[in-house]
Amino acid sequence: MLDFDQNDKKEAPIGVFDSGVGGLTVMREIMRQIPNEKLIYFGDTARVPYGGKSKETVTRYSRQIVHFLQENHVKAIVVACNTASAYALETLEKEIQIPIIGVVKPGAKVAAETTKNGKIGVIGTEGTVLSNIYPTYIRDIKQQVQVLQKACPLFVPLVEEGLLEDPVTDEIAKRYLAELIDLDIDTLILGCTHYPLIRDTIGRIMGSQVNLVNPAYETARELKELLEREALLNSRHPELGSNQYQFFVSDGAEKFKNFANSIIKYGILSAKIVSAEDYEGTSKR
Ligand code: DGL
């Protein structure tokens, strides 16, 4: 039998954060795969994009958001942003006591385990590519692999403009992906939160022989396993009207809400504005 404390912990929310709207693709997977959990999402819409920023800046921003989430008594944190996972996760893991996971390791693991010809492609932001984190994790699992990375910075604004199925997106995708096609990869990691939203376009250009890995899906699966291991999985569904899903952003709440409602089929009633900067240097739970 669990004591009351453990029950309280199980019913505490999970914090999920990203540089903006992209992490909603991860949020969506968590909602699907572990529907009993309460979730608090923070999108740093005032400071997006993280993709071209330095490791120091991304780490500072991420730390502030983690503090905000801890102030909201989360039991675990998911770094839904690939760039923040690449640059900040290692530091954050050392600074906090609750479980925290990113999106990079789960995606890298599946790619390493499923490639047949040992040729893996990774697409992501400049920061994620520069950090070299995907190749490092992939080679930790399987040494004899070729990993070709390609930064695709224009995909983020295209997705945010809603050009999910559009000739412009097609054209840019063809240019970005040409090198990966030439290398004859059999696995491609969608190493940025926005890319699963143009999965069809990417899949069409790469061809059906290429397996597309969506780290969002793998992360939700690993999160569930982690919560089970730590005896933190919530077995009871939260009551209706319990604010099961809460959304916070650092700017543009209305725009966020509209985008969120277009990708998560759950009426997002509101997003509250929070200034992440106010959480500099607080909280050490
Ligand atoms: N969320 C970011 C990522 O997954 C993409 C957007 C940005 O550059 O902030 O890397």
* Domain assignment present for 1: no
Residues 145 and 211 both lie in one domain:
yes
152: domain CATH number is: 3.40.50.1860
Give me ligand 1 centre to Cα 241, in Å: 31
Cross-sheet strand order for the sheet of 119-124? 146-151, 119-124, 187-191, 211-213
Report pLDDT digits (tens) over 100-116: 999 999 999 999 999 99
Residues 74 and 177 both lie in one domain:
no
Report pLDDT digits (tens) over 116-153: 999 999 999 999 999 999 999 999 999 999 999 999 99
This prediction has a pTM of 0.94
- Domain ranges, residue 186: 104-215
Atom of ligand 1 nearest to the CA of 125: 10
- Rounded distance, CA 248 to CA 24, Å? 12
Closest CA to 62 of 87, 38, 30, 25: 87
Which residues are identified as catalytic?
A: 81, 192
- Rounded distance, CA 26 to CA 22, Å? 8
Total domains in the chain come to 2
* pLDDT confidence of residue 283: 54
Last residue of a domain, one of 185, 215, 245: 215
Site residues for ligand 1, CB cut-off 6 Å: 18-20, 22, 48-51, 81-83, 125, 128, 156, 192-194
* Domain assignment present for 91: yes
Give me ligand 1 centre to Cα 135, in Å: 18
| Token pair listed for 91 | 């530091």
The share of the chain scoring above pLDDT 70, in percent, equals 96
Q: Give 244's Cβ-side CA count (13 Å radius).
A: 17
DSSP letter string, 38-76: -EEEEE-TTT---TTS-HHHHHHHHHHHHHHHHHTT-SE
Model confidence at 59, in pLDDT bands (50, 70, 90)?
very high
pLDDT, mean over the chain? 94
Report pLDDT digits (tens) over 262-280: 888 777 778 999 999 899 8
Nearest alpha carbon, ligand 1 atom 7:
49
* Domain assignment present for 193: yes
